[in-house]
Chains A and B, each alone.
Chain A
Amino acid sequence: MGALSTFLLITAVALAARVWFGDLHLFFGVRVDATLLALTLASIARGARFGTVAGFVLGLVVDAVQPEWLGASAAGYALVGFFSGSFGQTIYVDRTRARAALVIASVVIFDIVFGVLTVGIASSFFSRVLASLGSAVVTGGITALLSRAWQAVMAPQASRADLLADE
């Protein structure tokens, strides 16, 4: 799949998730950011440059819903795309745990950047930190589940080997 196709795919996923489910808030501010999840996984596969540009454009699209924040998500997603793309190219991230850890780190990075750029808009610092950590863990868990499901469906043999390796 080419870079443009990948970008269009994750944009469609992000927009559909935004339009249909909003931010997927679960509880106590914990949420699942489908845009970030798609961006991180695509950046791991496509590299840092793709991740940076795609993150910036996706961020602009996401921010369009609330014009006063325009730029905040763009900066955050650009950094996340760069970060996950860089690690995806330089370290071994085929394993489920490594992917989940990278997604968790991406969520934290994005929340830090977004929180700094939107100070005064949302709730208190403490609750934002807790919500961010919760979101990171939940999103990381979803990543792990998706990753295992993908391995089981697409490459059963490799999946078994990966599972054994993970043990």
Chain B
Amino acid sequence: MSSRPGAVLVATLVAAGLLLRVLDTSTKSPVANLMLNTVYSPFFAVRGWAQEQSTLRSENARLRHLLAEMSFKAQEGDEYAREALRLRSLWDLPFGRDPHIHIGRVVGWDRRGGHEEVIVDRGLSGGIRQYAPAITEDGVAGRVRVVTYNYARVQLLSDPGCRVSVRSTRSGVLGVVRMSGSSLIMDRVSIESDVAPGDTLVTAGIGGIFPAGLLLGFVSDVSKPAASLLADIDVQAAVRLDRLDYLFFLESQADLPPGAPYELETGTHP
């Protein structure tokens, strides 16, 4: 089994162990504390560091989650703020306090057959009538072409069939805005008329659909060919027609303020 010195050694150490065991705890405590503070200390430090890392990781994950949640809420808040601004600017329109304004959300686009139309999620049930002017806080967007009980199709200014009578706020010159090719133009304006780039165009109120004074756009370019009686006037729409999300609908002509000179709009209604 083992040599005699080995047996003596183990006997001695076991005896030493027994002796230590029977000593009073108060005598042993300083030795134990010394060992704890020296031998164990690095291991406790490593464990503490690892636990701290683990805590920090979980805290980091929690904060990231919270940040994502807050970021989403902030975006949501921004969207609400933008919507509030839109509604406020609509409220500031001349007829903004008229309770007969209906709001619809754009839920679809239809560009088939050369048309430029959007579909909104409100129809007759939401108070929207055929030919009702569709506007945004920036100005005129179009008019309702077809309406069903729950949906409405809005013919945009960019639709070739849409025509709107306008007036220059600076000179009072009248004309008709319509699409020509890929550009919005102001038609039926004599070359002798006072129209210049930058002029603001508002609805003239003589078409029977749009009330007078709604911002439609701005003159972006004017050219007067020598061989023609009419000027070529390019118009920049005030509304970004490719970024519509909500549209406001005015009551149709029967509900418009009395006294204004209404005439039938010269548009086509396929």
Picked from A49, A53, A65, A72, the residue with its CB within 8 Å of the CB of B17 is A72
By the criterion of a CB under 8 Å from any partner CB, how many residues of chain B are at the interface? 31
Residues of A within 8 A of B39 (CB): 11, 15, 61, 64
CA distance A2 to B60 in the complex (A): 45
- Of the stretches B7-15, B88-96, B207-215, the one at the interface is B7-15
Interface residue? A112 (CB, 8 A): no
Q: Scoring A residues 51 to 79 as 1 if CB is less than 8 Å from chain B, else 0, what string do you get?
A: 01101100111011111111110111011
CA distance A21 to B215 in the complex (A): 76
- Closest 5 CB pairs between A and B? A75-B17, A71-B20, A71-B21, A67-B32, A64-B35
| B17→A52 contact, CB < 8 A | no
Interface core residue of A48, A49, A64, A72 (most chain B CB under 10 Å):
A64
A154–B14 CA distance with the chains assembled, in angstroms: 36
> Main SS of the interface on chain B?
helix
Extra 15 A-B pairs, beta carbons < 8 Å, given A64-B39, A69-B21, A86-B2: A15-B43, A48-B2, A48-B6, A59-B17, A61-B35, A64-B33, A67-B31, A67-B32, A71-B23, A72-B17, A75-B13, A79-B10, A82-B2, A82-B9, A85-B2
On whether A78 and B25 interact (CB within 8 A), knowing A48-B2, A65-B36, the answer reads: no
Residues of A within 8 A of B23 (CB): 70-71
Q: Shortest beta-carbon distance, A132 to chain B, in Å?
A: 19
Q: How far is the CA of A29 from the CA of B13 in the complex (A)?
A: 28
Q: Does A117 contact B (CB under 8 A)?
A: yes
Pairwise interchain contact B43-A117, C-beta atoms closer than 8 A:
no
Chain B residues near A56 (CB-CB < 8 A): 13, 16-17
By secondary structure, the A interface counts as helix
Q: Tell me whether A70 and B31 are in contact in the complex, defined as CB-CB below 8 angstroms, given that A49-B6, A61-B39 are known contacts.
A: yes
Closest CB in chain B relative to A38 CB, distance in Å: 15
Tell me, yes or no, whether A19 is within 8 Å of chain B by CB. yes
For B33, list chain A residues within 8 Å (CB).
64, 67
Q: How far is the CB of B127 from chain A (nearest CB, A)?
A: 71
Cross-chain contact of B1 among A52, A68, A86 (Cβ < 8 A): A86
Determine whether A16 belongs to the interface, using a CB cutoff of 8 Å to chain B: yes
* Given A15-B43, A52-B13, A70-B23: A75 and B18 interface contact (C-beta under 8 Å): yes
Residues of B within 8 A of A49 (CB): 5-6, 9
